[in-house]
């Protein structure tokens, strides 16, 4: 794989990572509601999901993935269901000031990893990129193990950097929510955004 091809992949993948979508909404809502707790595992789940899709494309299993309609449907609705679950938790969360501490029972990193993985595997935007657009950027028929490692590293670095930037930006806003009323509006606003993302995932 040429340096130009790798650079083109990085450019298009950066655009994919920056583009607003269910994954970005989930990152922002999680960071606003709970800060950095569990964020590393959450982002790692998203990166793992993208690596799965890349592996399917690179190993010639893209056609198989496209024909496994039932599995793709299950993954899509599982991701939507988790977004709705997060929206419900935000709407019903206690309205104590953020400065008094995060959620009393934080989710385990492993659970958040699985959540990020599921959301990515069921995200139509990610599916289309790896199964439809990626073959036009990289010649997957000639990709080598070294090429795959380079692309995998690029995925992890780009996605982690972009999502951490989104998360840090959201965390900086948390200091404005130091009254019960403000926290209630924050929880319900992010919960509504989360529910909207769930609908977008389920209907695409």
CA distance 75 to 83: 13
CA distance 160 to 17: 9
CA distance 26 to 198: 10
The better pLDDT of the pair 106, 55 is held by 55
Most confident listed range (3-12, 58-67, 103-112, 182-191): 3-12
Cα torsion angle, 18, 115, 161, 130, sign: negative
- Per residue in 47-92, pLDDT (tens digit) is 999 999 898 888 865 555 555 556 566 666 766 776 677 677 667 7
The better pLDDT of the pair 161, 81 is held by 161
CB 32 within 8 A of CB 173: yes
106 pLDDT more than 60: no
The better pLDDT of the pair 122, 158 is held by 158
What is the pTM assigned to this prediction? 0.71
């Amino acid at each position: 794989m040429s340096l130009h091809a790798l650079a083109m992949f990085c450019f298009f993948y950066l655009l994919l990572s920056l583009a607003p979508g269910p994954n970005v909404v989930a990152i922002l809502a999680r960071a606003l509601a709970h800060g950095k707790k569990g964020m590393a595992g959450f982002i790692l789940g998203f990166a793992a999901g993208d690596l799965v899709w890349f592996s399917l494309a690179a190993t010639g299993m893209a056609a198989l993935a496209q024909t496994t309609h039932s599995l793709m449907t299950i993954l899509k609705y599982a991701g939507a269901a988790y977004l709705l679950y997060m929206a419900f938790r935000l709407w019903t969360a206690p309205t104590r000031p953020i400065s008094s501490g995060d959620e009393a029972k934080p989710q385990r990193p492993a659970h958040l990893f699985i959540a990020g993985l599921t959301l990515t595997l069921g995200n139509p935007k990610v599916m289309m990129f790896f199964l439809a657009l990626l073959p036009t950027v990289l010649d997957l028929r000639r990709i080598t193990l070294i090429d795959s490692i380079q692309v995998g590293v690029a995925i992890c670095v780009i996605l982690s950097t972009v999502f951490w930037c989104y998360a840090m930006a959201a965390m900086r806003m948390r200091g404005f929510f130091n009254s019960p009323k403000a926290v209630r509006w924050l929880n319900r606003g992010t919960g509504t955004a989360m529910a909207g993302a769930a609908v977008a995932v389920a209907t695409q």
